[in-house]
Chain A
Amino acid sequence: MSLPGELSSGVAWNDFEAELAPLWNRAQGGDETAYREALEAIAARLRGYFARRLPSVPHEVEDLVQETLLALHLRRGTHDGGLPVSNWVYAIARHKLIDLWRRRGRREALHEPLDETASLRAPLYEELPTRRDLEALLGALPEAQRLAIRLIKLEGLSVAEASQRSGVSVSALKVRVHRGLKRLAALVRKEE
């Protein structure tokens, strides 16, 4: 790879970190708007990252983006605030990509495109339809977890309101939401 290529790649990398880091820091502190923007920026990056590495299976890309977002969310406590968040995101994305190949039982080496810099300048990758239906998978969760996710995550109630509505304690609701999302992530992997 040529030196100018590496330089421009470095610039793009830093752009992502510069865009993401302030959002991420606020998100980790509990700012939901910043969290949403951070995940949207990450999703756009992941789409390109996976699309370049899965050229033969473009229909897998959006499923893997969603699976990775779920994993990022469930494990967001493992990001050490002193380290670049983009490194953390890419480490998890790479792990998810390897996991996908492994689940498919493919032995071929991970496809690491060399024209990374060219692709980075290319327009954003479009979101393709997913093959997997997360909505249906949500339906497969146990009733209590599904209810907690519906009230807090889909109807947008605060945890306190959801607690009043359902008669379940605040802490129990939080646990159910977390367990439900964990279960969802497990279902996503098993479904393959």
Chain B
Amino acid sequence: MKTERLIGLLTSGAGPAPRAPVARRLAPVLAAALTASIIASVAVLGLIPPAMWFGAAPWIKLGYAAALGASCAWLLARLACPAAPIGAAPYTLAAAVAAMLLVGAGELALMPPAERYSYMVGHSAARCPWAILALSTPALAGLVWALRGLAPTRLRLAGVCAGLLAGTIGAAGYALSCSEESAAFVAVWYSLGIALCGLLGGALGSRLLRW
């Protein structure tokens, strides 16, 4: 087929370009993945005692997940468009992590030194990152699907970002069933779980996101 004929085929009846395909593709995936993460967390792990909602802990976890998630979603939306400048998203991402680490460190600093370790490790440190990773898998699968219909040109970076975003969705679900009280726990183990998801996304990204 001559290229001129291909151009004729592409342009005839083409109509206007689809509007906001990035938001239209990412938004439903994020909503579905968050729902899946919440349902899996509540059904498999069980909700935290209602009294905990009067304390700060669940809100710190949800707020951290939301701040990271918003930054990652913003960054991913840029990475899905060729030649689009990344903007300030990496800075807001770094700021959210830094703020969480600072709060966690501040909390530990006010503790008697002998209690710091047990406070940071809590009773579920060994489970937390893996639970976040497991709860994030539907989100990662959905985001890979969404990105394959968009146009990421930096595949590994897009994969890492999709993984981190999936991780924040896993973390938001896990926050509903995590009875840990300490901010230091969140700063260490939630961050670790989300980072694991980012690693997984990066490892898969350069292979699965090709187009």
Contacts and interface: CB of A to CB of B under 8 A. Distances in A.
Contacts of A59: none
B6 interface: yes
Interface string B120-158: 000000000000000000000000000000110100000
Interface string B1-22: 1111011111111111111111
B83 interface: yes
B83 A83 contact: yes
Name B's interface SS.
loop
Contacts of A84: 83
Interface size range on A against B: 35 or more
Given A71-B211, A79-B17, A159-B13, A94 B4 contact: no
Contacts of B33: none
B16 A29 contact: yes
A20 interface: no
Contacts of A159: 13
Which of B2, B10, B153, B210 gathers the greatest number of chain A CB atoms within 10 Å?
Answer: B10
A79 B15 contact: no
A69 to B, nearest CB: 6
A88 B83 contact: yes
Contact of B150 (A39, A78, A134): A78
B151 A149 contact: no
Given A43-B3, A70-B6, A79-B81, A35 B11 contact: yes
B11 A90 contact: no
A36 B83 contact: no
Contact of A127 (B2, B17, B19): B2
A91 B11 CA distance: 21
A177 interface: yes
Nearest to A43: B3
Contacts of B12: 32, 152-153, 156
Contacts of A135: 1
B114 interface: no
A105 interface: no
B80 interface: yes
A77 B14 contact: no
Contacts, number: 111
A53 to B, nearest CB: 16
Given A75-B150, A99-B210, A158-B13, A40 B84 contact: no
Contacts of A65: 3
B16 A28 contact: yes
A36 B15 contact: no
Contact of A76 (B17, B84, B210, B211): B17
Interface string A45-79: 00000000000000000100110011101011111
A189 B150 CA distance: 17
B164 to A, nearest CB: 21
A181 B10 CA distance: 9
Given A69-B6, A88-B81, 12 more contacts: A36-B7, A66-B3, A78-B22, A78-B150, A83-B83, A87-B83, A91-B82, A94-B153, A102-B210, A149-B9, A157-B13, A159-B13
Contact of B16 (A30, A36, A39, A95): A30
B10 A80 contact: no
B6 A95 contact: no
B1 A66 contact: yes
Contacts of B4: 40
B6 A75 contact: no
22 contacts: A28-B17, A32-B11, A36-B11, A39-B10, A40-B7, A43-B3, A69-B7, A73-B10, A76-B17, A78-B81, A79-B82, A83-B83, A88-B82, A92-B82, A95-B82, A99-B210, A130-B3, A135-B1, A153-B8, A156-B12, A156-B13, A189-B211
